[in-house]
Amino acid sequence: MDTKQHVGIVLAALILIIMNFIPEIAGLSPAGVRTICMLLAFLVMLITAPFRILHICFFFLGLMPVLGVAPTFGAALSGISNPVILFVIASFGISSAFTTLPLSRRILVALLRKFGKNVKLMLLAIMASALIISAFVSSVPTCAVFMGIALSFLELYENPDDKKRSGRTFMIAVPVATMIGAFMTPIGGTINLLALNELYVHTGATIPFVQWMAAGIPISIVTLPVAWWLIVKIHKPAEISQEMVAKFINNLDIPEKITRPEVTALVITGLMMTLWIASSWVSGINIMVVAVLGACVLCIPQLKTLKFDTFVSGIGWDSVFLIATVISLGNLMVSNGVSGFIVSILPVMNVPTPLLIAFGAALFFALLLIIPVAPSLVVIMGVPLISLAIGAGVSPAIMMLTAAIAGNACFLLPLDTVPLLTYGKGFYSIKDMFISSLPIQLFMIIGMSLWLTFIGRVFGMV
C-alpha cells in the first residue's frame, strides 16, 4: 500500500468513529447523521482504493447494520434486490458478445476505409465506432476494445516522440468518445438506469426509451465532433503515411465475410432494440427484462454467439456490487431522513428552464471533482435535483436526464473507471486530460440547456 491508501483507511476509520459522537442536527436524526458519515467514509475508501472495490463494498454492507445505519442486514442488502443489478449483470453478457465477435472491429474497418485518409480522420473513425458501440454496450469493455485497437495503431510509429504525442491524443479520445456515447440510450450505462430508478422511486414517473433517445442522441452526435476537434487541436497527433494506415487496416485480421454468429448476434440485438423502442408505447415491456432475456438467448450453445463461461468470467463484480452498495445507501438516505433534510435546505430556483438545466449540469460536473464516483453522485443528488425541478415548475425527468448525461461525461479527471483504463498506459497526465476535457464539458452544458429545454417542450416536460 502507498501513503494515499494508508491515509484513506485511517480517515475512513476516524469518520466511522467520530460519527457516534455527533449530536442530533436540527432536522436530521442520529441515524441520518450516521448515514451521511458512512457515505463519506465509503467515498474516501473508493477514492483512495486501499482494497478492491468488491472488498470495500462487502465491508460497508456488513458495517451498515453493525453501526446502526441500517435497522437490519436485509435493509443493508436492499440494493442487491433492485432490478438494476440483474440488468448490470446482463449487460456484461451483451458486452461480451460484441467484444468476442469481430463486430466492433468490422464497424471500425468500414469507417476507416471511408474516412481513414490521415491520422486525424483515423482518430475520428475510432471515436465514432466507440460512440456507436457504447450506446448499447457497457463503457468499460467498449473502452478496453478500442484502447487495444488504438495501442496497436500506435506501434506503427517509429519515432518515440511521435508515438508519445499521438498516444496522448488517442488515449484521451477513446474514453471521451465512449462516455459520450453512453447516454445515447437508457441501456448505454448503469448511470442511466440509476437515474431512471431514482426518478421512478421518488416520483413514480419514468422516461420512455424513445424520449430518452430523442434527448441523448443529438447531444452525443453534436458533442463528438467538437470533442474530436478540441482534442486534435490541443494535443496535435503526429501524421502518418496513408500506406501505414492501409497496413494497419489489413492487420486487424477480420474475416472478409460476416460470420453466422455475427449475423445471429445482430438479429438478437435488433430484436432487443425493437422491443426497447416498443416499450415507449407498450407498458408491459420492461427494458431490463428484455436485456436479461437477450443475454440468456445469446448464451444458447447452438447459436455460437457467446459461451456461458465467457459471459460469467466477463462479469465485473466490482461494478455490480458498487451499484448495489450505492443503491442501498441511497435507500437508507431516504428512510433515515437525509434526502428530506437536503431538500429542506435547498433554495427554490424559479428560473428559466435553460438556466436550471445549466445550473444542474454545472453543479454535477463540479461535484464530480469532489466525488468522482458518478453512480454514487446520481443517487446522492437524485432527490435534491428532483426537488429543484418541482420547485421550478418543470418535470423531474428533465433534471434526471441532466444528471445522467453529466454523470456519464465524467472525464474531466481520469479518476472514473473508464478513463483510468487509458490513463494507466502512461501516455498522458491529469493536466492533459483536464485542459482538453474542460471545454468539452462547457460545450455540453450549453448544449444540454438548449436541447433538453426544446425536447422537454416537445414531450410536455417543460
Helix (H, G, I), strand (E, B) or coil at 25: strand
Provide the pLDDT for residue 113: 77
Backbone φ, ψ for residue 185 (5° rounding): -135, 160
Q: For residue 441, which of 412, 408, 404 has the smallest C-alpha distance?
A: 412
Distance CA 146, CA 151 (A): 8
Boundaries of every domain in the chain: 3-78+318-458, 83-313
Q: How many CB atoms lie within 10 A of CB 454?
A: 14
362 or 256, higher pLDDT? 362
- Break the chain down into helix, strand, coil percent, rounded to 5: 75, 0, 25
> For residue 419, what is its C-alpha cell?
478513463
Q: How many CB atoms lie within 10 A of CB 327?
A: 24
Provide the pLDDT for residue 333: 86
pLDDT of 27 above 80: no
**Structure letter (DSSP) for residue 403:** H
Contacts of 413 (CB under 8 A, 6+ apart): 368, 369, 372, 419, 430, 433, 434
**Structure letter (DSSP) for residue 240:** -
Provide the pLDDT for residue 108: 77
Provide the pLDDT for residue 257: 83
pLDDT of 343 above 80: no
pLDDT of 115 above 80: no
pLDDT of 251 above 80: no
pLDDT digit string, tens, across residues 37-49: 999 999 899 888 8
CB pairs under 8 A, 24+ apart, for 147-154?
147/171, 147/174, 147/175, 147/421, 147/422, 147/425, 149/105, 149/108, 149/252, 150/126, 150/174, 151/425, 152/248, 152/251, 153/122, 153/248
Backbone φ, ψ for residue 292 (5° rounding): -65, -50
Q: For residue 87, which of 196, 177, 6 has the smallest C-alpha distance?
A: 196
Distance CA 203, CA 461 (A): 14
pLDDT of 462 above 80: no
Q: For residue 212, which of 457, 392, 455, 460 has the smallest C-alpha distance?
A: 455
What is the pLDDT averaged over residues 171-182?
Answer: 95
Q: Which helix (H) or strand (E) holds 414?
A: none
Backbone φ, ψ for residue 25 (5° rounding): -95, 145
296 or 110, higher pLDDT? 296
**Structure letter (DSSP) for residue 60:** H
pLDDT of 70 above 80: yes
244 or 120, higher pLDDT? 120
Distance CA 177, CA 166 (A): 16
Which pLDDT band, with edges at 50, 70 and 90, does 355 fall under? very high
Provide the pLDDT for residue 277: 92
Block residue for cell numbers 436492499: 78
Q: What is the pLDDT of the chain when averaged over all its residues? A: 88
- Measured at the CA of 78, the angle between CA 76 and CA 79, to 5 degrees, comes to 105
Distance CA 79, CA 83 (A): 9
Block residue for cell numbers 421518488: 202
Provide the pLDDT for residue 216: 95
The percent of residues above 90 in pLDDT, for the chain, comes to 45
> For residue 437, what is its C-alpha cell?
476535457
Which pLDDT band, with edges at 50, 70 and 90, does 354 fall under? very high
> For residue 412, what is its C-alpha cell?
474531466
Distance CA 165, CA 235 (A): 7
Contacts of 421 (CB under 8 A, 6+ apart): 140, 143, 144, 147, 175
Helix (H, G, I), strand (E, B) or coil at 28: strand
Provide the pLDDT for residue 62: 95
The percent of residues above 70 in pLDDT, for the chain, comes to 100
Provide the pLDDT for residue 248: 78
What is the pLDDT averaged over residues 53-76?
Answer: 93
Distance CA 73, CA 91 (A): 27
pLDDT digit string, tens, across residues 120-158: 888 998 899 899 989 988 888 888 888 888 888 888 888
Q: Is 265 exposed, middle or buried (0-12, 13-18, 19+ CB in 10 A)?
A: buried
Provide the pLDDT for residue 59: 94
pLDDT digit string, tens, across residues 278-322: 998 998 898 889 999 999 999 999 999 999 998 998 888 888 898
